[in-house]
């Protein structure tokens, strides 16, 4: 619910309204503009009808906000959010590219990949230390040892680190190594995990659940923001459809849709989105043209020997040519590559 105060409403009149709302259990987000003050009220909408807020002379109008996401939505926050992480920004005029293996497998593998993606122009190193796998018998990741190797790669290359956390009990541990925490597709609605990362002061990349609607996805972001962490970015990684030629169906409409519904940055993952290395370059081009703020791409020194997601991983050479290509595309969109 948005309450627009009359031009010239006094602080006392504004306080009268916010006090009343707070008494009725609403959480207040005050936006004091030069011209007008706007009160955002988060709470039980059904109570508002009985409150007759428009009876206060200083209230100009009460706008029911039908969209249930007040913090992640654009309505109350019209400007794009730009997330600062290390010396980088995600969501501004610069396209960031995150790249690295699906999983951290060994010291050699992660350092070799980190050097290659850095040389090609990536700014953030990806790599899973805790791997959510469809089969309980598949490689589950190196866990803390993997986090240490990522930190070593950061130390050497200056790349920032993004890595996934799968268990609420590991959030503090993962946050002590990572620059950005990734919530995987399978955990998009793991509300306990969302509440834990909400307590951090580190950015969170929230992947789309394989069958999640936009509203469910944005509500998951709302969980993190409602818990106090406003540095949230979305990541489209493909959804489940009838088509099985590709691993998932990369829904690039997510970029403009999210940009219109939300102010948060949008990342695209063409690797999981297609499951095929040969489709990563064309879909990366399309994602940048659609307005993605960042890409996350799987790169492995020897995809054929990867312990997970080899078929969708680029070789360092292919990643280098992709970056050269993106440099041109991003320019056409009026932005630049970091
Ligand atoms: C990953 O990024 O390696 C991963 C497991 O992705 P998703 O959660 O999108 O399947
Ligand atoms: Mn993967």
Q: Could you read off the pLDDT of 119-136 as tens digits, one per residue?
A: 999 999 999 999 988 899
Cα 126 to Cα 158: distance, rounded to the nearest angstrom: 13
CA of 272 to the centre of ligand 1 (A): 7
* Tokens (6 digits) for 180: 């950005």
Sign, CA torsion 64/69/73/76:
positive
Q: How many CB atoms lie within 10 A of CB 263?
A: 19
Ligand nearest to the CA of residue 209, numbered in listed order: 1
The structural domain count of the chain equals 2
Taking 80 as the threshold, does the pLDDT of residue 309 lie above it? yes
Q: Which of left, alpha, beta for 136 (phi over 0: left; psi -120 to 50: alpha)?
A: alpha
Domain around 41 = 2-63
Q: Are both 51 and 90 inside the same structural domain? A: no
Residue 45, pLDDT score:
72
For 30-68, what is each residue's pLDDT tens digit?
998 888 899 999 887 767 767 789 999 999 999 876 788
Q: Considering the domain boundaries, does residue 241 fall inside one? A: yes
Residue 46, pLDDT score:
66
Sign, CA torsion 42/46/50/54:
positive
Q: Are both 9 and 150 inside the same structural domain? A: no
Q: Are both 121 and 42 inside the same structural domain? A: no
Q: Are both 206 and 308 inside the same structural domain? A: yes
Q: Are both 294 and 326 inside the same structural domain? A: yes
* Tokens (6 digits) for 311: 């078929």
Q: Are both 269 and 127 inside the same structural domain? A: yes
Indicate the pTM of the whole model. 0.84
Taking 80 as the threshold, does the pLDDT of residue 199 lie above it? yes
Q: Considering the domain boundaries, does residue 71 fall inside one? A: no
* Tokens (6 digits) for 250: 């990369």
CA of 329 to the centre of ligand 1 (A): 26
CATH number of residue 10's parent domain: 3.30.70.1140
Q: Are both 56 and 93 inside the same structural domain? A: no
Taking CA 213 as the corner, what is the angle to CA 212 and CA 217, rounded to the nearest 5 degrees?
A: 70
**pLDDT band at 1; cut points 50, 70, 90:** confident
Ligand 2 (ion): residues with CB under 5 Å are: 102, 309
Residue 49, pLDDT score:
66
Sign, CA torsion 200/85/309/150:
negative
Q: From atom 3 of ligand 1, which residue's Cα is the shortest distance away?
A: 102
Report the pocket of ligand 1 as residue ranges, CB < 6 Å. Answer: 102, 128, 132, 184-186, 207, 237, 272
Q: Are both 87 and 54 inside the same structural domain? A: no
Q: What is the mean pLDDT of residues 296-310?
A: 98
**Is residue 59 helix, strand or coil?**
strand
CATH number of residue 88's parent domain: 3.20.20.70
Q: Considering the domain boundaries, does residue 73 fall inside one? A: no
Q: Are both 144 and 280 inside the same structural domain? A: yes
């Amino acid at each position: 619910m948005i309450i627009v105060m009359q031009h010239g409403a006094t602080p006392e009149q504004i306080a009268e309204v916010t006090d009343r709302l707070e008494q009725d259990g609403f959480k207040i987000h005050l936006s004091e503009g030069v011209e007008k003050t706007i009160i955002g009220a988060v709470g039980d909408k059904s109570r508002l009808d009985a409150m007759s807020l428009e009876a206060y002379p200083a209230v100009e109008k009460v706008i029911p906000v039908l969209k249930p996401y007040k913090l992640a939505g654009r309505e109350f926050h019209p400007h794009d959010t730009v997330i600062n992480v290390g010396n980088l920004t995600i969501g501004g005029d610069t396209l960031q590219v995150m790249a690295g293996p699906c999983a951290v497998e060994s010291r050699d593998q992660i350092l070799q990949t980190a050097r290659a993606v850095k040389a090609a122009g990536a700014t953030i190193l990806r790599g899973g230390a805790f791997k959510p796998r469809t089969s309980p018998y598949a490689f589950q990741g190196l866990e803390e040892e993997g986090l240490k190797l990522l930190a070593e790669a950061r130390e050497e290359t200056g790349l920032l680190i993004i890595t996934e956390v799968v268990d609420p009990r590991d959030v503090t541990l993962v946050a002590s190594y990572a620059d950005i925490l990734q919530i995987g597709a399978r955990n998009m609605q793991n509300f306990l995990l969302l509440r834990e990362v909400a307590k951090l002061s580190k950015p969170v990349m929230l992947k789309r659940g394989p069958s999640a609607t936009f509203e469910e996805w944005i509500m998951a972001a709302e969980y993190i923001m409602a818990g106090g962490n406003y540095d949230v970015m979305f990541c489209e990684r493909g959804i489940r459809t009838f088509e099985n030629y590709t691993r998932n169906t990369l829904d690039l409409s997510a970029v403009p849709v999210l940009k219109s519904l939300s102010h948060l940055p949008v990342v695209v993952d063409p690797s999981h989105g297609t499951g095929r290395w040969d489709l990563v370059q064309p879909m990366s081009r399309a994602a940048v043209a659609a307005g993605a703020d960042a890409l996350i791409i799987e790169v492995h020194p020897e995809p054929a020997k990867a312990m997970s997601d080899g078929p969708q991983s680029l070789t360092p050479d292919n990643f280098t040519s992709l970056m050269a290509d993106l440099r041109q595309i991003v320019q056409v969109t009026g932005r630049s590559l970091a």
